[in-house]
Amino acid sequence: MFGFHWAELLVVLILAVVVFGPKRLPQLGGALGKGLRDFRHEVHEVKAEMGITEIQEQVRDVRDSVVSLPHELEASTRPAETANAGAGGGRKQPS
């Protein structure tokens, strides 16, 4: 979880109990949870105001178009190659 080992989390919890005491830990946990919830809400609001999600969708659409372009080009050149071969494209040129 977030690159922490369980033993490190245990040490942090023990230090919190020693520093703040067992009576204040629930209050601190609640305040920390509320702070994180408010932070996430603000980040979501900023993204919505800036139009980040719309920009991400547009970038995703452009990326998909670029990825599919080689396949479309290959598919569009196949009929021309077939027609060229059928029209004598396989004959040798006179020297």
Residue 49 belongs to a domain: yes
Residue 2 belongs to a domain: no
Per-residue model confidence (pLDDT) at position 1: 46
Residue 36 belongs to a domain: yes
Whether this model's pTM surpasses 0.85: no
Residue 87 belongs to a domain: no
* Boundaries of domain holding 44: 16-65
Q: Specify the number of domains making up the chain.
A: 1
Residue 28 belongs to a domain: yes
Instruction: Decide if pLDDT at 85 tops 80.
Output: no
Residue 45 belongs to a domain: yes
Tally the C-alpha atoms within 13 A of residue 70's C-alpha that lie toward its C-beta. Answer: 2
In contact, 20 and 28? CB cutoff 8 Å: yes
Residue 58 belongs to a domain: yes
Residue 42 belongs to a domain: yes
Mean pLDDT over residues 87-93, rounded? 56
Residue pLDDT, tens place only, 5-64: 889 988 988 998 899 898 998 998 899 999 999 999 999 898 888 888 788 889 999 999
